[in-house]
């Protein structure tokens, strides 16, 4: 049960990280093409921090699993 | 159909594993966010609203500047000086901007509050629209009011049933005041100089040097109408400095004459040689003509010659340094004076009073205590000063004339005014707060880097201590063509 829970977490974080990477990339492109189109509504710094935190968490989890 | 599609997607999803489901949820969130940003950028419905209450930095409505004239408040911002500027970022082009401002006055009961949109960056010209005129707001409840579309007609005592009836009558022009309207716009285009004055029309040579943009009325009776300028480029700023001399009749351009820059777009301070620019028109009907010398501050008008000495400057006059003992007359009992030249600091005689022009780069504001409806004399020991008010200026009192109907301002003497015609939108009240709005045609706006520039104008606010305007919020609605309309237009083309 505990192992399954940990597995779910890892899947969610892994998928979240992938889609967040894609989102960050697309938002930066959008902001580059049309300034203020993203930054006018969303703080990309915050999104970048979340992305970084998830990435570090995934690295830590992978290391523990090994 | 939609439900069927949803149920098919649901069945497929349920058969898939956890990774697929989680990925699908995240991708949907990402696509929704992407769609939201694209929607806000393209604005397919053709209308978008931006609103700021100054609690945090707004990415579209810029902060109010300069900071010296703006104080932070718990709720909103307090404006203590005039004017104050802000910019508006737009994601794509629109046709109209509707500006709404929620505000209240602080220790001030008589004010004119306008918003301007930057129309010409080179000449720093703003297209002004009224927000609140407290004189009109008070009179709306005290005087007899009739309204036609966006125009109010106010009468001290009810004499006429409508504005049209009044304008068709033989009314006395000195009893009428206009606000946000010109004489031409209400059909008063027939200014005629009295015969005895017409007989005195002779050519004029003005040798007192002027600096920068000016406009004046000139009364033309017969022969050719001629305006000759001798100009010099100071090259103190790095801008392109052409000279455009424009002749208007009944608010329409009928002729212009253009002189290119002296090929020095630098700020090296090398003064150009004196060059001539002439404007000549034949077979013009007798009447009042307006001339605009559209130049920036780098241009000095060394000499101005006109075929008629009945020539009168409007709104202000800027005298280039170098002359002494200059006398000017204005038909207003208040005056704003500014100098950027330390050598021009002096005592100015205005009306019967002696007033101190004590600091450079500061607007001095003087109101005469004895209000008399005559031309007030301004005596200057030295030039290098900019004088302005909403009235007229002349160098010669004997040829002074006033072709304009009085424009209603806070300094207007209401004793002699019995009628007001105003293009005005009354403010709305919400508790202690006032809400005023103005519309701007964005085709007239100057823009750079996807930004429009606006100005909040409250003339004279800087000179009233303790007075201020507290702005709670600024809301701008941008309106233009929707995506569907644009597609239809493209297909038609």
What is the per-residue pLDDT for A5?
Answer: 67
B411: left (phi over 0), alpha (psi -120 to 50) or beta: alpha
Is the pLDDT score of B294 beyond 70? yes
Nearest CA in chain A to B41: A37
Q: Tell me which of B175 and B251 has the higher pLDDT.
A: B175
Cα distances (angstroms) measured from residue B4 to each of B7, B14, B21, B114, B337: 5, 15, 20, 57, 76
Residues of B in contact with A45 (CB under 8 A): none
Across the interface, whether the CB atoms of A42 and B33 are under 8 A apart is answered yes
Q: What are phi and psi of B227, to 5 degrees?
A: -130, 125
Residues of B in contact with A20 (CB under 8 A): 26
CA distance B206 to B303: 6
Across the interface, whether the CB atoms of B33 and A23 are under 8 A apart is answered yes
Average pLDDT, chain B: 88
Across the interface, whether the CB atoms of A36 and B59 are under 8 A apart is answered yes
Torsion (CA) B62, B63, B67, B73 in degrees, nearest 10 = 170
Distance (Å) from the C-alpha of residue A42 to the closest C-alpha of chain B? Answer: 9
Across the interface, whether the CB atoms of B23 and A19 are under 8 A apart is answered yes
pTM, two decimals, is 0.79
Is the pLDDT score of B301 beyond 90? yes
CB proximity B33 to A under 8 Å = yes
Q: Tell me which of B313 and B463 has the higher pLDDT.
A: B313
Look up the CATH number of domain B50-133+425-483: 2.60.120.260
CA distance B437 to B103: 11
CB proximity B30 to A under 8 Å = yes
Residue with tokens 């209000």: B371
Omega before residue B66 within 30° of 0, cis: yes
CB proximity A65 to B under 8 Å = no
CB proximity B22 to A under 8 Å = yes
Give B28-66 pLDDT, tens digit per residue.
Answer: 999 999 999 999 999 999 999 999 998 888 889 999 999
What is the domain partition of chain B in residue ranges?
A: 2-42, 50-133+425-483, 323-401
State in Å, rounded, how far the first CA of chain B is from the last one. Answer: 36
pLDDT band at B283 (very low <50, low <70, confident <90, very high): confident
Q: Region B370-379: what's the mean pLDDT? A: 80
CA A46 and chain centroid, separation: 11
Across the interface, whether the CB atoms of A22 and B30 are under 8 A apart is answered yes
- Among B27, B30, B89, the residue with its CB nearest the CB of A36 is B89
Across the interface, whether the CB atoms of A36 and B36 are under 8 A apart is answered no
What is the per-residue pLDDT for B8?
Answer: 77
What is the per-residue pLDDT for B247?
Answer: 94
CA distance B88 to B450: 8
Across the interface, whether the CB atoms of B60 and A40 are under 8 A apart is answered yes
What is the domain partition of chain A in residue ranges?
A: 2-65
CB proximity A29 to B under 8 Å = no
Q: What is the 3-state secondary structure (H, E, C) of B273-325?
A: CCEEEEEEECCCCCEEEEEEEECCCCEEEEEEEECCCCEEEEEEEEECCCCEE
Give B177-228 pLDDT, tens digit per residue.
Answer: 999 988 878 888 778 888 888 888 999 999 899 999 999 999 998 889 999 9
Q: What is the 3-state secondary structure (H, E, C) of B114-178?
A: EEEEEEECCCCEEEEEEEEEHHHHHHHHHCEEEEECCEEEEECCCCCCCHHHHHHCCCCHHHEEE
Q: Centre a 10 Å sphere on the Cβ of residue B113 and count the other Cβ atoms it contains.
A: 24
Give B140-180 pLDDT, tens digit per residue.
Answer: 889 999 998 889 999 999 889 988 899 888 888 888 999 99
């Amino acid at each position: 049960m505990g192992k399954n829970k940990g597995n779910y977490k890892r899947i969610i974080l892994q998928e979240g990280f992938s889609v967040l990477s894609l989102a960050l990339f697309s938002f930066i492109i959008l902001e580059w093409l049309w300034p203020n189109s993203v930054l006018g509504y969303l703080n990309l710094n915050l999104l970048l921090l979340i992305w970084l935190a998830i990435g570090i968490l995934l690295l830590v989890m992978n290391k523990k699993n090994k | 159909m939609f439900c069927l599609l949803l149920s098919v997607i649901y069945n497929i999803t349920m058969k898939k594993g956890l990774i697929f489901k989680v990925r699908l949820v995240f991708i949907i969130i990402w696509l929704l966010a992407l769609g939201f940003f694209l929607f806000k950028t393209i604005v397919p419905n053709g209308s978008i609203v931006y609103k700021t209450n100054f609690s945090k930095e707004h990415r579209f409505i810029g902060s109010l500047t300069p900071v010296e004239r703006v104080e932070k408040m718990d709720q909103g911002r307090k404006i203590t000086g005039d004017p104050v500027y802000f910019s508006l970022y737009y994601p794509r082009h629109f046709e109209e901007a509707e500006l709404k401002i929620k505000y209240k006055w602080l220790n001030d009961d008589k004010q004119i509050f306008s918003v301007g949109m930057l129309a010409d960056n080179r000449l720093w010209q703003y297209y002004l629209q009224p927000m609140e005129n407290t004189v009109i707001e008070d009179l709306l409840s005290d005087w007899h009011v009739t309204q036609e579309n966006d125009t109010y007609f106010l009468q001290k005592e009810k004499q006429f049933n409508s504005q049209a009836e009044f304008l068709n009558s033989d009314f006395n022009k000195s009893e009428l005041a206009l606000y946000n309207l010109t004489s031409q716009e209400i059909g008063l285009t027939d200014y005629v100089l009295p015969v005895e004055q017409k007989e005195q029309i002779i050519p004029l040579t003005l040798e007192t040097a002027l600096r920068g943009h000016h406009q004046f009325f000139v009364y033309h009776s017969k022969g050719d109408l001629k305006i000759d300028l001798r100009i010099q480029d100071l090259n103190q700023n790095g801008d392109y400095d052409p000279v455009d001399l424009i002749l208007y009749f009944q608010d329409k351009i009928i002729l212009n004459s253009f002189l290119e820059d002296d090929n020095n777009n630098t700020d090296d301070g090398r003064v150009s040689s004196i060059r001539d620019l002439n404007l000549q028109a034949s077979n013009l009907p007798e009447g009042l003509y307006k001339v605009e010398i559209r130049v920036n501050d780098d241009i000095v008008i060394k000499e101005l010659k006109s075929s008629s000495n009945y020539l009168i400057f409007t709104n202000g006059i800027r005298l280039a340094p170098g002359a002494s003992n200059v006398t000017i007359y204005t038909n207003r009992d208040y005056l704003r004076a500014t100098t950027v030249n330390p050598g021009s600091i002096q005592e100015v005689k205005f009306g019967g009073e002696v007033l101190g022009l004590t600091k450079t780069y500061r607007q001095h504001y003087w109101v005469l205590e004895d209000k008399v409806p005559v031309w007030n004399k301004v005596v200057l020991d030295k030039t290098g000063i900019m004088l302005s008010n909403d009235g007229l200026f002349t160098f010669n009192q004997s040829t002074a004339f006033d072709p304009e109907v009085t424009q209603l301002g806070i300094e207007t003497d209401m004793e002699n005014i019995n009628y007001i015609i105003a293009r005005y939108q009354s403010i709305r009240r919400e508790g202690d707060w006032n809400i005023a709005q103005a519309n701007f045609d964005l085709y007239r706006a100057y823009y750079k880097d996807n930004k429009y520039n606006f100005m909040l104008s409250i003339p004279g606010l800087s000179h009233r201590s303790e007075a201020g305007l507290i702005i709670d919020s600024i809301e701008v609605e941008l309106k233009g063509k929707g995506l569907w309309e644009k597609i239809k237009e493209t297909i038609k083309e």
